[in-house]
């Protein structure tokens, strides 16, 4: 495997729960540069099959190079994972033995200024995960009414100064449209208290998160796909989700709980508490510090499972 700047988080724990084997079929719904997929294909030699999905064409291109030795056993799709059912049908897959989601941005995406995900570099205020995902972050900050923008920043970013930030954005856009990440970052910095600028998190982190989630409709797509996933798993197949902030983790937890408590449950929750990175991993890869892994298993027909959370 070639050296990559992106390091998969919780990889050892994920492989423990996913249990790749040579008779299995596994679906990586957030393929990225392909690091996790590479490990799955290694552990499932010689016959394991992988379906990789990513709506970012650059990610698909990188993954194709990463997975070169295993391409005969892979199916790659440049699509949104909300199309999971039709994607598996296109790949000729009936039921999968494992489906995984790693919901964080890849280091490759963060390092591309033209994508607009990072507030540390100047770039276009885009934030679309795919090239055809609809309105950009620039479209939102330049057109949304102040109250709606404040609500968006508060809801998706859990930002305490959402109203102040939205008011400053509207004031500034009346003079000059916001087109770059540095423009927006400067507005946020100037609108929040001095003490907030010196906090552990960069003062623009939560606003950028909120806009990215809104642009890509991430939470709505995640919840809908998690409800679909059990129907695509073989009995005893595993559903593994790595989230990076509380809104995602809450959706995963509540969806797993709902599917495990139905009159006819489809999932059994395996992780009593979410798996989190070790101190060693957090030191080596600071990006992993907020990661949480939750795992559930597809129940066989007639089987009942107890929730362990």
257-276 pLDDT, tens digit each: 999 999 999 999 999 999 99
Q: What is the pLDDT of residue 261?
A: 95
Do 44 and 92 sit in the same domain of this protein? yes
| Gap between the Cα atoms of 206 and 218, Å rounded | 15
- Asked if the bond preceding 70 is cis, omega within 30° of 0, the reply is no
- Ranges of the chain with pLDDT below 50: 1-4, 307-309
End-to-end CA gap in the chain: 37
In a domain, residue 207? The reply is yes
Q: Which two tokens stand for residue 185?
A: 């970052």
Do 98 and 226 sit in the same domain of this protein? yes
In a domain, residue 289? The reply is yes
Q: What is the pLDDT of residue 117?
A: 86
Q: What is the pLDDT of residue 306?
A: 54
Do 279 and 144 sit in the same domain of this protein? no
Bridge partners, 96 (sequence order)? 233
Does the reported pTM lie above 0.85? yes
Number of domains making up the chain = 2
Do 183 and 240 sit in the same domain of this protein? no
Do 28 and 71 sit in the same domain of this protein? yes
Query: Which of the listed residues 217, 251, 282 is the one where a domain comes to its end?
Result: 217
Do 98 and 159 sit in the same domain of this protein? no
Residue 258 phi, psi (nearest 5): -60, -40
Place of tokens 């009936």: 94
Q: Which two tokens stand for residue 190?
A: 């100037």
Do 211 and 280 sit in the same domain of this protein? no
Q: What is the pLDDT of residue 295?
A: 98
Bridge partners, 53 (sequence order)? 77
Looking up residue 126, the CATH number of its domain turns out to be 1.10.150.170
Bridge partners, 50 (sequence order)? 26, 74
In a domain, residue 2? The reply is no
Q: What is the pLDDT of residue 302?
A: 64
Do 127 and 208 sit in the same domain of this protein? yes
Do 207 and 229 sit in the same domain of this protein? no
Domain of 241 in residue numbering reads as: 11-108+219-298
**Tens of pLDDT along 5-28?**
578 999 999 999 999 999 999 999
| Gap between the Cα atoms of 29 and 213, Å rounded | 17
Do 104 and 223 sit in the same domain of this protein? yes
């Amino acid at each position: 495997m070639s050296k990559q700047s992106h390091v998969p988080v919780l990889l050892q724990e994920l492989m423990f729960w996913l249990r790749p084997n040579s008779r299995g079929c596994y679906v990586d719904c957030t393929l990225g540069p392909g690091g996790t997929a590479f490990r799955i294909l290694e552990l499932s030699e010689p016959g394991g099959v992988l379906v990789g999905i990513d709506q970012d064409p650059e990610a698909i291109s990188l993954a194709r190079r990463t997975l070169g030795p295993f391409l005969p056993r892979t199916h790659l799709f440049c699509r949104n994972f909300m199309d999971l059912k039709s994607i598996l049908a296109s790949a000729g897959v009936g039921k999968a033995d494992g489906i995984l989601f790693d919901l964080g941005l890849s280091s490759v995406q963060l390092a591309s200024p033209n994508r607009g995900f990072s507030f540390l570099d100047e770039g276009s205020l885009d934030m679309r995960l795919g090239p055809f995902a609809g309105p950009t972050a620039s479209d939102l900050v330049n057109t949304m009414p102040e109250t709606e923008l404040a609500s968006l920043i508060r809801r998706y970013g859990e930002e305490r100064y959402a109203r102040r930030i939205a008011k400053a954005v509207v004031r500034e856009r009346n003079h000059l449209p916001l087109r770059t990440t540095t423009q927006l970052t400067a507005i946020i910095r100037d609108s929040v208290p001095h003490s907030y600028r010196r906090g552990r998190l960069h003062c623009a982190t939560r606003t950028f998160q909120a806009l990215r989630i809104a642009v890509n409709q991430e939470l709505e797509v995640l919840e809908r796909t998690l409800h679909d996933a059990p129907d695509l798993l073989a009995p005893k197949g595993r559903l593994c989700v790595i989230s990076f902030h509380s809104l995602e983790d809450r959706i995963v937890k509540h969806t797993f709980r709902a599917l495990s408590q139905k009159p006819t449950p489809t999932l059994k929750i395996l992780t009593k508490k979410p798996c989190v990175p070790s101190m060693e991993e957090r030191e080596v890869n600071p990006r992993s510090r907020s990661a949480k892994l939750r795992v559930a298993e597809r129940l066989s027909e007639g089987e009942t499972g107890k929730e362990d959370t």
